[in-house]
Amino acid sequence: MTAADVIELEGLSKRYGDQVILDDFSLTVRRGEFVALLGRSGTGKTTLLRILAGLEDATSGHAKIAARTSVVFQEPRLIQAQRVWRNVALTTSRRGDVYQRAVGGLTEVGLADKAHAWPKNLSGGEAQRVGLARALFRSPDLLLLDEPFGALDAFTRRNAQDLVTALWQEHQVGILLVTHDIEEAVLLADRIVVLGNGFVQANLPVDLTRPRDVTSPAFNAIKRRVLDSLESLKDTR
């Protein structure tokens, strides 16, 4: 694993009894790279993310992950008994510059005025932005996103996608995004990895300038390539 890599996986396997979830899975992600992971339901995307986040162990294989790693899940998972800024800092202490840094993170996601609000008073989009601020609070080298926009309405989802792009460009963090949405993957990622039968079935670069036009022929050509890769997958086990 080089200093520029935030994920290095070689021959990773995960089994639950006789059920094979990941089989000889290999992947490298570099710092500052935005990678989207797609696959049909049940192909092991979330299992892989949980292994990367340290929430599960692989059965076998080689894995090196950046020491500073943060995760954003589909549900914000805010602590209802703590005000918003404390959810960002994950502490009840105001020592040092903790409070100022938490408010600074909220400012980045457009929620400085919500610092002292209770989570129950936030909209779904606001709560997810708090989750992003919390994930970036510790200046991670790797950010894992597990379908973070799945519960949002279309308008809020697009705004959240634009926000993630801006934060990624600002912080130059490596990102692995798990998503079912092909358009979202092409809109956000530098590279799209298609997972099937437990290993990488396709590794597709997204050679489009930013900001991206979802109506352009080039954008839709990449969408078609991803869709073709997904449709070609068959469970041969």
DSSP string, 125-171: HHHHHHHHHHHHTT--SEEEEESTTTTS-HHHHHHHHHHHHHHHHHH
Is the pLDDT at 42 greater than 90? The verdict is no
Give the chain's domains with CATH numbers. Answer: 5-231 (3.40.50.300)
Task: Extract the tokens encoding 122.
Answer: 């936030």
pLDDT digits (tens, 9 = 90+) for 140-149: 999 999 998 8
Is the pLDDT at 162 greater than 60? The verdict is yes
Confidence of residue 3 (pLDDT cuts 50, 70, 90): low
pLDDT digits (tens, 9 = 90+) for 191-200: 999 999 888 9
Q: Look at residue 237 in the predicted model and tell me its pLDDT.
A: 42
> Helix and strand tally (H, E) in the chain?
7, 9
Count of CB atoms situated within 10 Å of the CB of 18? 5
Q: Match 């036009």 to its residue by tokens.
A: 213
